[in-house]
Chain A
Amino acid sequence: MKFKININGTEQEVNATRQGDQLTLTKPDGETLTAEIVQNNSGKIVLNLDGRLLQIAGHKNGDDRQLWANGRMLAYQRIDETAAGTAADPGSLSASIPAVVSEVLVKVGDAVGAGERLILLESMKMIIPITAPADGTVTELMCAAGDSVAPGVPLVIISD
């Protein structure tokens, strides 16, 4: 996914994707940085970038963001693409309430049929399946079993 941020008046585009427990950042020059997601719970994220551990905690309030990363604070805003007229990815699926991913049933590249169960979420002792809205292919998978997920955060993208 691509998104824009505003750091102290300067706009910057961030191009990043998640495949299972891998997070990849594509820099403007095409070079990529891939880190392993070591931890993602109780408000803290830990990434492993070629053996270097990055401790991260983030705060979101509307478009405002606050980041603590390895002892450093950074405040910035996310620029809302939908407000700017670009529609969110139509195939992106997300949880409707805060939940924990209990099982991921598909992988990237899988062909899926309409109504097929893709991800099982658990919330308040209930299992909530995320199902394919139409026939298609899994192009991106942004969660792994055990993740705490917030409503509206894309978990999987299906395209035709």
Chain B
Amino acid sequence: MVANRGEIAKRIFTACRELGVTSVAIYSDADAGCQWIQSADEAYPLGGTTAAESYLDMQKVIGIAKANGVEAIHPGYGFLSENAEFAEACSTAGIKFIGPSPAAMRLMGSKASAREVAQQAGVPVTPGVDGAGKSDGELQQAADEIGYPVLIKASAGGGGKGMRVVESAGDFLGALQSARSEAANSFGDDHIILEKYFTKIHHIEIQILGDEHGNVRHLFERECSIQRRHQKIIEETPSPTISDEVRLEIANSAVRLAQSAGYFSAGTVEFMYTGDGNFYLLEMNTRLQVEHPITELVTGHDLAQWMIKIAAGHTLDVSQESINQRGHAIECRVYAEDPAQNFLPSIATASLVEFPVMPNVRCEVGIATGEAVTPYYDPMLAKVIAFGTTRQEAIGRMILALKQTIILGLTTNIPYMLDILQEAHFQAGETTTNYLAEQFDGWAPSFETSDTDLLAIAAVELLSTGNVQASGGGETKQSFDPWNEPTAWRNR
């Protein structure tokens, strides 16, 4: 069973099917009738609309699993994927959790304890201080010693929540208060840590696979420096920045860290690379990552399948030497949001959804024509992944693939990503985590119109396109309807 939704649920159903494992979908009321559910062998309603009422409700999830004889649960990413309590609840219910052990999750899920493990394993960490049990005055003094700019971040955090960059000593206490309250609200834990903040950094992460018999391998790096407000949107592998020596050094550090933590299943060790050969641990993500497909394309290993096989007790019977990077892969995350309006989510119904079918392009899609983007879940619609023998070839193929991706009725970030892919610094591989802020602040789409555009505009007005929505009201119809809710069905 997959305790998740959208593209990642579909991705894991496919892995199950390839392994001959029966797959089970669960879905909230808001997702009833969505196409991704139909990729599973069985589907059961979870009820509820918000994440808390549905995909985050452990009792409901485990209840449905037990009632239907589910043997294992894959949590995907987000929702319950890094929740050690859920992993424990699964095992109490006699269900295998497809992921690391609760102990490893707890150890690596907390930035503070991950730092300690890293220091013992000889993995570089950023100069910094754990805020647990320290007074505001002590923390101010620690920040002064580290030297500004200083980063305050939530120990339990992720996705940029509870994070503050403090430029000078005078701003420290105010930022500390707001970071603490944001951390408490988002994660139920106001435990924060202080770190030296580097201004020019690359986000490099290492994919790890480990089995329950002590074998740990790395599947090389991904560079994820193209971020908007700490949210990755374009990822690639290999990194255009690091040398082969640094690549191996970082990868071996990640393996040591995973071994010290007794880690098994898929995991990702995130590092910041400061461009001078130095790298520091950021955190470990104890789950399958959104951007895992680029690693799959360059190494040929199926990470979703490996997670299932490892959970079934299989040995990771591949040598480190046999794992190679071949060619170049890029992923673009398609979000229902408007980059020209502060990345405001676009909550509406898609009147047309079409993804390209072309060689060396893989599309992981969580939306279909007629389906709505609701305010309840993450507005990521799909991932477009392109492979090429060289970086240039992969970029060219990605540009073509995004141009051939049609999503109408919603505003998406596709035009924004197309402009990034064609920008000189990106093309040269000069991408730090400040790249978007430096190059794309105040971005707006092009409004130039050619004669053929006017002809196309005339065609939309004069011919029926089949995408006409009722005018007037302005409210789009929600995709779910309590009177039209499908009941549980089985597909044998």
Query: Residues of A at under 8 Å CB distance from B?
Result: 1, 3, 5, 7-8, 10, 12, 14, 16-18, 23, 25, 27, 33, 35, 37, 40-45, 47, 49, 52, 54, 56-63, 65-76, 78, 142, 147-150, 153
Contact = CB atoms under 8 A, between A and B. Distances in A.
A12 B453 CA distance: 12
Interface stretch (B31-39, B312-320, B400-408): B400-408
A56 B460 contact: yes
B462 A74 contact: no
B39 to A, nearest CB: 22
Nearest to B407: A68
Nearest to B350: A59
Interface in B393-419: 400, 403-404, 406, 408-409, 411, 414-415
A62 B469 CA distance: 7
A61 B465 contact: no
The residue among B411, B415, B456, B471 with the most chain A CB atoms within 10 A of its own CB is B456
Contacts of A147: 463-464
B447 A60 contact: no
Contact of B451 (A33, A57, A71, A142): A33
B424 interface: no
Given A60-B465, A149-B464, A76 B455 contact: no
B351 A59 contact: yes
Given A12-B454, A16-B461, A148-B464, 5 more contacts: A17-B462, A43-B465, A45-B463, A57-B465, A71-B403
Given A54-B452, A59-B352, A76 B457 contact: yes
Nearest to A99: B464
B449 A25 contact: no
Contacts of B472: 62
Given A14-B461, A60-B460, A43 B454 contact: no
A33 B455 contact: yes
B68 interface: no
A59 B408 contact: yes
Nearest to A1: B462
Nearest to B369: A43
5 contacts: A25-B451, A45-B456, A58-B459, A61-B476, A69-B456
A7 B404 CA distance: 23
A81 to B, nearest CB: 12
A67 B456 contact: yes
A62 B474 contact: yes
Dominant secondary structure of chain A at its interface with chain B: strand
A69 B476 CA distance: 24
In the complex, the 9 A-B pairs of residues with the closest C-beta atoms, listed nearest first: A71-B403, A58-B460, A16-B458, A59-B408, A69-B456, A8-B447, A62-B471, A150-B468, A150-B464
Contact of A61 (B455, B463, B469): B469
A148 B458 contact: no
A41 B465 CA distance: 7
A14 B458 contact: yes
Interface of B: 351-352, 354, 369, 400, 403-404, 406, 408-409, 411, 414-415, 445, 447, 449, 451-469, 471-472, 474, 476
Contacts of B409: 59, 61, 66
Contacts, number: 149
A58 B467 contact: yes
Contacts of B415: 73
Contact of A18 (B414, B445, B462): B462
A75 B407 CA distance: 12
B207 to A, nearest CB: 32
The residue among B447, B457, B466, B471 with the most chain A CB atoms within 10 A of its own CB is B457
A69 B465 contact: no
A153 B464 contact: yes
Contacts of A59: 351-352, 408-409, 465, 467, 469
A49 B455 contact: yes
B465 A58 contact: yes
A28 to B, nearest CB: 10
Contacts of A37: 459, 463
B471 A56 contact: no
Contacts of B445: 73, 75
Contacts of A56: 456, 459-460, 465
B456 A75 contact: no
A35 B458 CA distance: 11
A65 B457 CA distance: 9
Nearest to A58: B460
A115 B455 CA distance: 34
Contacts of B403: 70-72
A3 B468 CA distance: 18
A27 B454 CA distance: 9
Contact of A71 (B404, B449, B459, B466): B404
A7 B462 contact: no
Nearest to A147: B464
A44 B456 CA distance: 11
Contact of A43 (B414, B453, B467): B467
A62 B369 CA distance: 19
B367 to A, nearest CB: 15
Given A8-B447, A57-B465, A23 B455 contact: yes
B454 A25 contact: yes
B470 to A, nearest CB: 8
A70 B456 CA distance: 10
Contact of B453 (A35, A60, A74): A74
A8 B455 CA distance: 18
Given A59-B351, A62-B471, A68 B462 contact: no
A131 B158 CA distance: 64
A47 B455 contact: yes
A10 B403 CA distance: 25
B447 A57 contact: no
Given A42-B466, A43-B466, A74-B447, A68 B452 contact: no
Contacts of B476: 61
A40 to B, nearest CB: 5
